């Protein structure tokens, strides 16, 4: 069966002996090619993750090769090797190469193109060197798209085989012997050949570039994008559309660089192509998001394409590809409807089959700058319409102004504790929370780390904030509470609401922290109970205060409620209290302060 685009990304997983791990060099195995002879002793290899990476190798003739792999070019940690080329046996005219590299594993497709820079020694004229590209064992050679700046030649790499440098005579022979076909390789060859001919004729290649790029778009790119964006397209058709469009865009960039004209454009094809490209990415997102829902009951700690977590991560790649194509992303509440442009990261997350859910978050300890702060957090993962589950490890990062305060991994119950010091000068303390899927190993973390949720928690100094009550007292002597009124008192961020009813009853409610008047949802009720005036007889009440699943506070109050209903219908209450700090108990005691009636 024909490999899909992403299955080819995983070629290295079934040939682990091909490449040594790490960034070291020397001792790498020979590739065993018959036409291409490589310098295994100068080869270099590295494990490239989804974060990207760089490999540098130096040939025996002093040519330095550097491969820059961008972020999200590979889905899994991938062993990549770069072998300097010594010779290619089947060059036309029995010619020789002046440099070049062979990449491994052969056939690896990149989700975003890598950049190969070739730094030539001063004895080699870069303007007299031409990129010769090939697949496999160099059975078929074609001109590649290389640009020159100083002593450096730059080539964009979409898939792995090899790129060599040869003189003009060899380039001429390759151009003459190349069998044209209706594929992207042939159009790349035509672009490079147009530039080579312009150097000979001293005539601008602009007209040739425009003709080639338009024909390329009409014959290859546009049909591929239309098929990819269709609602019934397969994964292979989607991947083909993405690949063809990426290579075509790089050819336009090649034209800009070789013409020295950044304004060079191909219209109306550019505008039309972006609309088709957005439709392709919409289909990409929906295809893998739907596949995630289909695979929702599958194991999440094994497999790749049948793993719903991996399917969700692949769906998010639509946004990364849009960035590679320089398509602006904007918020979109309906990623399954029409896309005028590609939705931003948060919009894609909000509609993803897999969601990270923060179930609760609390500051359990810490009142002022310099204090130890402990943040309790519970989070889980929801796949499609399933229940929130805690068997998928999450990596939680606590940050302030972009700096990491602490990082933790959730346990089997989805809980973790962030522990750090309250920075001096931070008031209020605003802590960012990033919880992302960590998975079960380093490979999972690299692939699944985009599946995340953002949140924050804040606290003002000397404020309870969900922890211990600070020292202090609260009292107010300028209000009278009439039947049905709801005056408020506030001390150090603790808000109290007292309401009354006929018969001398007073209802006391406390809100902390409170960022607005009740019933603002930011006001968290700590306790709510009633005291009743019995004409001078004191009343004692207590109530446990649950927060979430845990009882963090116990409020024991001694209230003095004395007096009687006044002539104007108001109730005069003698009340007051003080706070004993440092514990999880609020205590109150009678106060001589009398609140006058009005």
Tens of pLDDT along the chain (598 residues) come to 333 333 332 222 222 223 333 345 556 888 888 889 999 999 999 998 888 899 999 998 899 999 999 888 887 788 999 999 998 888 887 778 888 999 988 888 888 889 999 999 988 888 888 888 888 888 888 888 889 989 999 999 888 888 888 888 888 888 888 888 888 999 999 999 999 899 889 999 999 999 999 999 999 999 999 999 999 999 999 999 999 999 999 999 999 999 999 999 999 999 999 999 999 999 999 999 999 999 998 888 876 778 899 899 899 999 989 999 999 888 876 766 777 888 888 889 889 999 999 999 999 888 888 989 999 999 999 999 999 999 999 999 999 998 999 999 999 999 999 999 999 888 899 999 999 998 666 556 666 878 999 999 999 886 333 323 333 333 332 333 322 233 333 333 333 444 333 344 444 444 443 333 334 444 444 444 444 443 433 333 333 333 222 222 223 333 333 322 233 333 333 333 333 333 323 333 322 322 222 2
The pLDDT of residue 445 is 61
Domain ranges for the chain:
1-177, 279-350, 354-459, 472-587
The residue written with tokens 């599958």 in the block is 298
The pLDDT of residue 45 is 92
Closest CA to 497 of 537, 527, 536: 527
The pLDDT of residue 182 is 84
Q: Which two tokens stand for residue 592?
A: 């001589």
Q: Which two tokens stand for residue 171?
A: 């380039």
pTM over 0.75: no
List of long-range contacts for 190-194, beta carbons under 8 Å, 24+ apart: 191/145, 191/251, 191/254, 191/255, 192/130, 192/131, 192/143, 192/144, 192/145, 192/146, 193/143
As beta bridge partners, residue 130 has 166
The pLDDT of residue 129 is 87
Domain 1-177 has CATH 2.60.220.30: yes
Q: How close are the terminal C-alpha atoms of the chain, in Å? A: 88
- Distance in angstroms (rounded) separating the CA atoms of residues 368 and 270: 57
Q: What's CA 79's distance to the chain center, in Å?
A: 23
Q: Are 346 and 332 in contact (CB under 8 A)?
A: no
The domain 354-459 is placed in CATH, from the list 2.30.30.40, 2.60.40.10, 3.40.50.150, 2.60.40.420, at: 2.60.40.10
- Distance in angstroms (rounded) separating the CA atoms of residues 595 and 589: 16
Residues 6+ apart with CB under 8 A from 123: none
User: Using CA atoms in the order 518, 522, 523, 526, what is the torsion angle rounded to 10 degrees?
Assistant: 150
């Amino acid at each position: 069966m024909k490999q899909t685009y992403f299955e080819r990304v995983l070629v290295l997983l079934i040939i682990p002996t091909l490449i040594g791990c790490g960034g070291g060099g020397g001792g790498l195995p020979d590739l065993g090619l018959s036409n291409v002879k490589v310098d295994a002793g100068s080869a270099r290899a590295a494990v490239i993750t989804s974060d990207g990476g760089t490999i540098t190798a130096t040939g025996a003739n002093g040519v330095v090769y550097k491969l820059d792999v961008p972020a999200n070019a590979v889905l899994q940690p991938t062993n990549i090797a770069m072998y300097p080329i010594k010779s290619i046996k089947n060059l036309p005219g029995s010619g020789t190469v002046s440099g070049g590299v062979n990449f491994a594993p052969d056939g690896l497709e990149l989700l975003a193109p890598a950049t190969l820079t070739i730094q030539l020694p001063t004895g080699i004229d870069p303007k007299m060197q031409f990129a010769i590209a090939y697949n496999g064992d160099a059975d078929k050679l074609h001109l590649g798209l290389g640009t020159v700046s100083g002593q450096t030649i730059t080539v964009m790499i979409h898939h792995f085989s090899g790129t060599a440098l040869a003189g003009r005579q060899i380039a001429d022979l390759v151009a003459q012997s190349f069998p044209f076909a209706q594929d992207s390789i042939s159009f790349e060859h035509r672009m490079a050949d147009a530039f080579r001919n312009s150097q000979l004729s001293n005539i601008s290649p602009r007209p040739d570039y425009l003709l080639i790029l338009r024909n390329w778009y009409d014959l290859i790119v546009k049909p591929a994008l239309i098929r990819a964006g269709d609602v019934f397209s397969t994964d292979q058709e989607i991947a083909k559309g993405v690949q063809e469009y990426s290579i075509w865009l790089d050819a336009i960039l090649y034209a800009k660089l070789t013409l020295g004209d950044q304004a060079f454009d191909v219209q109306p094809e550019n505008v039309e192509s972006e609309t088709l490209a957005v439709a392709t990415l919409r289909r990409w997102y929906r295809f893998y998001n739907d596949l995630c829902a289909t695979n929702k009951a599958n194991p999440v700690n094994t497999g790749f394409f049948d793993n719903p977590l991996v399917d969700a991560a692949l769906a998010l790649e639509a946004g990364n590809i849009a960035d590679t194509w320089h398509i602006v992303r904007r918020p979109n509440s309906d990623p399954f409807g029409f896309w005028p442009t590609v939705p931003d990261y948060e919009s894609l997350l909000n509609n993803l089959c897999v969601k990270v859910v923060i179930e609760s978050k609390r500051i359990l300890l810490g009142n002022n700058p310099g204090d130890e702060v402990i943040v309790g957090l519970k989070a889980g993962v929801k796949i499609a319409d399933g229940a929130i589950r805690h068997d998928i490890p999450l990596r939680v990062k606590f940050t302030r102004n972009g700096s990491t305060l602490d990082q933790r991994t959730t346990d089997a119950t989805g809980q973790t504790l962030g522990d750090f010091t309250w920075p001096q000068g931070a008031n209020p303390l605003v802590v960012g929370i990033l919880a992302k899927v960590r998975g079960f190993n380093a490979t999972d973390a690299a692939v699944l780390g985009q599946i995340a949720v953002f949140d924050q928690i804040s606290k003002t100094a000397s404020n309870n904030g969900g922890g211990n009550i600070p020292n202090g007292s609260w009292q107010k002597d300028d209000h009278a509470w009439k039947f049905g009124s709801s005056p408020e008192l506030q001390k150090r961020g603790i808000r109290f609401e007292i309401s009354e009813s006929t018969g001398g009853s007073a209802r006391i409610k406390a809100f902390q922290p409170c960022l607005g008047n009740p019933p603002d949802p930011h006001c968290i009720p700590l306790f709510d109970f009633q005291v009743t005036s019995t004409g001078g007889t004191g009343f004692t009440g207590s109530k446990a205060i649950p927060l979430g699943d845990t009882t963090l506070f116990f409020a024991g109050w001694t209230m003095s409620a004395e007096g009687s209903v006044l002539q104007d219908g108001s109730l005069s209450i003698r009340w007051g209290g003080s706070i004993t700090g440092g514990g999880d108990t609020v205590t109150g005691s009678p106060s001589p302060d009398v609140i006058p009636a009005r």
